[in-house]
A and B are shown apart, each in its own frame.
Chain A
Amino acid sequence: MNTQADKDVPTRVHQRLSAVAPVFSVEAGGGRRAGDLLAAIVPVCRASPRTAETWLLLVALTGVFPTEDEVRAAVRLLRRHAGAEGQRDLLAMAAAIASRGEVSHDLVVVRDATVADVNFSARHDIHTGIQRVVRETLPIWRDQHEFTPVAWTSRHTAMRLLRPSEDARVFRYSMGQSPKTVTQTGDSDPPTIVVPWDCVLLLPEVPEPAAGQVLATLAEHSPNRVVAVGYDMIPIVSADLRPPSDAARFTRYLGVIKQADRLAAISRSAEAEFRGFASALAAQGLPGPEVREVTLPSAMPSTAPVARAAGRERPVVLCVGTHDPHKNHRAVVHAAERLWREGVDFELVFIGQPGWRSGPDDMCVSGVIRAGRPARSLGRVPDAILARQLTSAAFTVFISLHEGFGLPVAESLAAGTPALVSNFGSLQEIAEGGGCLAVDPRDDDAILDAMRALLTDGSTLSRLRAEALERPERTWRDYADDLWRFAHDTVLPERASSIAHSRSAT
């Protein structure tokens, strides 16, 4: 903590107590000092049957969102001691909590409104699945609704207002044009922290693990409706295909989901996963969030439409996705090699960066490239090139072993290009809308037969192409509207979707 910030501490404590005073029906004006405000607020906390008021008082005293044990400790302390003794102990506790923060912040209470945590998309230029969802959805909301987008302070101690550059990165993002500076450290001018109260708090991202504990505490103790988007359970269910540290990080997120009120699953498959998690919570007496499917849209990457090139001589089989083990690219390469050995002529193209356990030169496709097979790996490409590849491919292959949604398949179909997909989970769901062949991705022979059929049987391919073009379009606006409604409706409708394929937990 620098001296400049230290000087500010008493002033800022006074600002924060004044900001929260109206919530406690305490008059803040008229030159009332911090001590007067505290003395007026503490009895309200003591008299409340709930823990929410104490949670808010701790935020105001410290400028830091408290943890579960801190809230409990403060509640118990105030129960034990009335009057000056309680206040003195509380201030000692607050000083310890405040030391977690880097600097002292001003505070604004947002009441009866909507707050959206977009920390990662605001602070990083990465633009894959989740950031795409944020950067497509939030600008649509801004045209129609009032809400406050927030990020976290540098030590993940509290939510705060966005800086202008961060706002641009969320709402006016275009690859290569947004500010490159990643604002991770050095809050030299402390941003104002945001405290939602009686709000809908939207979590469209997977929150930073470092914020998990205090966010879970907010969800449990504050009077906000926490609504999360649920993507998948890959780190838990397919842990064998991910680094063990993934699961450790992910359980911090599950700590938040455990206390959340609602969860919008991006597919029926993700719905089954999060419902499974929620049902397991019965063993600890918790209801878990209400889980509903709010399906992502199936749209092309937002770019100008691409004309389909006329009959190429050598068909391209396109495989889009990071080179991670669960994407099952190895099975694609194996089937391709078998087909080349059969004499089938095609080119195999991969788009996606190296992932866990693969470097640029030892991806599963590297071997066949070195062996001189017609195969290429383009790495990560701009949206325009992705769109061109999707449009010109004969078909795409996406036989992942675990997906929350399968964005590349949705994009392939939106481009009118058929896809070979896995016959379960979210990919099976997409296939039900037409334009796909679905196979067991653990069955090498089934993959081989399907790829051969798509390469050699023109009628199958043209039938699927026609189906792909017939698919009902679901737009980002549809998704944005559905998600907003799901978060804000007073009562949720009964579940629209059936999850007959999932097993009951009873």
Chain B
Amino acid sequence: MSVVARRRRRPTRAAVAVWVRRLDLVADALGKPRPAGSASLEARLAEAIDVTDRTQVWLTLAVLAATLPDDLTVERTAREALFHGPRRVLDAVADLSTKESLEAAVRVVTEATLVDVQHTASTPFATGIQRVARETVRRWAAAHPVVLVSWTEGFSALRTLTPEEEERMTGQSAGPYDPSVLVPWRATYVVPELAADLERTRRLLALARHSDNRTGTIGFDTVPITSAETSDTGFAGYFANYLAAVRHFDRIATISRAAATEYRGWRAMLAAIGLPGPDIEPVLLPAEAPSPDDGALASARRRFVRDDLPLVLCVGTFEPRKNHLAVLHAAEMLWRDGLRFSLTFVGGRSWKAGRFQLELSRLQEAGYPVETASGVPDAELWAAYRLARFTVFPSLNEGFGLPAAESLAAGTPVVTSNFGSMAEIASDGGAVLVDPRDDESLIDGMRRLLVDDRLLMVLRAEAAARSRRTWDDYATDTWKYLVGTSV
């Protein structure tokens, strides 16, 4: 960011009038009398705020410019205001303002809970993370007064949701559309999804650091840093900027104890920069696999069951971290040993799926009963879990191994990894644990569930006896931790 001064045009009379009106909101938020009558904007500003106080500068820039400032802007503005007075704050307001921001309706939201669902609300599709955000926020919104928010174009400010977005998140529209820019103040601000857009995280960092708000987020995993070799490394820069923002947050609810281990490892690094970092507590995700109706069961049987072969199911996107090549190898070795079963992968192509596709084709050409299924509806997937003899999920790193948990919720045993969130899920019973980096261990685990009917029955009984954790439980627990109790 260059410090070479931009040539600044004199603000129009209309712009000044907007800022004068918005300054009243700043004074209200700070609990001060609104600045008096005919004084200049500069004099009013000097009356309303301490221009060297970074918290007040943050609020003033956010409200007057209808734009959330970044850290550097807050710091520079407060420093320059020390030498040059409120004029520099107004210069910064002018720099941040655009035609759109001058026209926006601005509301300061105090003593409320704002829930930032930008990504989840923007699409009807649902990745794992968006599914968590949607299930959780829907329940929060039904039980508590919350303000759902998204971001304006270019991530410059928070705004109310459109009716369409509102409906996506809550299942009902909130009524007439009230497009406003929102500035949280002495409020609770929660991000239940992964915020990894650079502009969004830069402004979130300043919000968490300088503003007078409580902040919380859901921590899913740190895979882009700790298992970068299994994902697109380009993403690491965005993820690291998300971490930079949340190091100033108050609380992170991680989706498993394993994810808490990852986030606490990251927090330990913050000693190097003299920051304590947020509180971190695991709030375990639920996994539901409701009983399918007869129709779904029949259609799943047609789609997934081959002849009289026992079905082995492997659910998850086709990417190296899921270790599908090890599953293919184990299956081939077991078929060569004369064991009879079919293997079905349910998931979509993802990053670097090429080698998996090649091996899959080779085995299919050799006549082995292996296939993939994509775009499977939930009900059919839940039916497939029930039709499978067992599932296999030897992933190398998971914030929460959803397919393992869903399989067990459906009463079907799973062969999964002997560490992290997968071992955590397995600890309530129903699973065979293997070392996913050791092919022989995986082969052995799968073999046992193919040949040992007694073991299978024991694990089925264990799975059926597991206590059921619901989305209602999860929404209640996360609300309590992120919003309900004071920090």
Contacts and interface: CB of A to CB of B under 8 A. Distances in A.
Interface of A: 68-69, 72-73, 75-76, 79-80, 213, 216, 232-233, 235-240, 243-252, 254-255, 258, 269-270, 272-273, 275-285, 325, 330, 334, 337-338, 341, 357, 359, 362, 364, 366-367, 401-402, 404, 422-426, 428, 440, 444, 499, 501-506
B430 interface: no
Given A364-B3, A426-B272, A504-B268, A284 B241 contact: no
Contacts of B262: 280, 283
A272 B273 contact: no
B265 A238 contact: no
Given A237-B270, A362-B2, A367-B3, A258 B237 contact: no
B343 to A, nearest CB: 16
A249 B193 CA distance: 25
Interface string B427-443: 00000000111010000
A258 B230 CA distance: 13
B267 A503 contact: yes
A277 B226 contact: yes
Interface stretch (B43-51, B58-66, B173-181, B413-421): B413-421
Contacts of B234: 248
B241 A76 contact: no
Given A337-B83, A505-B264, 19 more contacts: A69-B320, A76-B325, A233-B269, A237-B266, A240-B241, A244-B238, A248-B234, A254-B226, A255-B228, A276-B267, A279-B268, A280-B226, A285-B418, A357-B1, A366-B3, A426-B272, A503-B268, A503-B277, A505-B268
B272 A279 contact: no
Contacts of A237: 243-244, 247, 266, 269-270, 272-273
Nearest to B229: A255
B397 interface: yes
Interface string B317-337: 000100001100100110010
A269 B271 contact: yes
A236 B267 CA distance: 11
15 contacts: A69-B320, A79-B333, A236-B243, A237-B269, A238-B273, A240-B71, A240-B245, A247-B240, A248-B237, A272-B271, A278-B265, A279-B268, A282-B420, A424-B273, A428-B274
Nearest to B221: A283
A372 B243 CA distance: 41
Contacts of A250: 236
A272 B241 CA distance: 20
B269 to A, nearest CB: 4
Contacts of B76: 330
A401 B273 contact: yes
A244 B247 CA distance: 17
Contacts of A272: 268-269, 271-272
A423 B276 CA distance: 14
Contact of A244 (B75, B240, B261): B240
Contact of A502 (B225, B268, B420, B436): B268
A330 B74 CA distance: 13
Interface string B190-232: 0000000010011001000000000000000110111111000
A428 B439 CA distance: 48
Nearest to A427: B274
B273 A402 contact: yes
A270 B329 CA distance: 41
B233 interface: yes
Contacts of A285: 417-420, 435-437
Nearest to B258: A283
B226 A240 contact: no
A72 B274 contact: no
Nearest to A244: B237
B237 A239 contact: yes
B405 interface: no
B269 A236 contact: yes
B264 A245 contact: no
Contact of B236 (A76, A251, A359): A251
A362 B3 contact: yes
A402 B272 contact: yes
A400 to B, nearest CB: 9
**What 4 A-B pairs come out closest when comparing CB atoms?**
A424-B274, A280-B265, A244-B237, A285-B419
Given A238-B273, A240-B71, A284 B237 contact: no
Contacts of A501: 271
A15 B147 CA distance: 71
Interface residues of B, number: 73
Contact of B202 (A240, A245, A278): A240
Contacts of A330: 75-76, 79
Interface in B273-287: 273-274, 276-277
A503 B262 CA distance: 13
A248 B233 contact: yes
B355 interface: yes
Contacts of A277: 226, 265-266, 269
Of the candidates A245, A276, A444, the one having the most CB atoms from chain B within 10 angstroms of its own CB is: A276
B265 A279 contact: yes
B233 A251 contact: yes
A78 B439 CA distance: 13
Contacts of A366: 3
A503 B276 contact: yes
B355 A73 contact: yes
A283 B272 contact: no
Contacts of B326: 72
A425 B273 contact: yes
Given A69-B325, A283-B420, A424-B271, A239 B222 contact: no
B259 interface: yes
Interface string B394-433: 0011000000000000000000011111000000000000
B4 interface: yes
Nearest to A270: B272
Contacts of B325: 69, 72-73, 76
A401 B71 CA distance: 14
Nearest to B72: A325
A425 B274 contact: yes
A129 to B, nearest CB: 16
A216 B225 CA distance: 15
Contacts of A238: 244, 273
A245 B237 contact: yes
B3 A239 contact: no
A258 B4 CA distance: 43
A72 B325 CA distance: 9
A241 to B, nearest CB: 8
Contact of B397 (A284, A364, A402): A284
A244 B420 CA distance: 29
Contacts of A280: 222, 226, 261-266
Nearest to A243: B237
B55 to A, nearest CB: 14
Contact of A76 (B1, B228, B239, B439): B439
Nearest to B206: A240
B226 A283 contact: yes
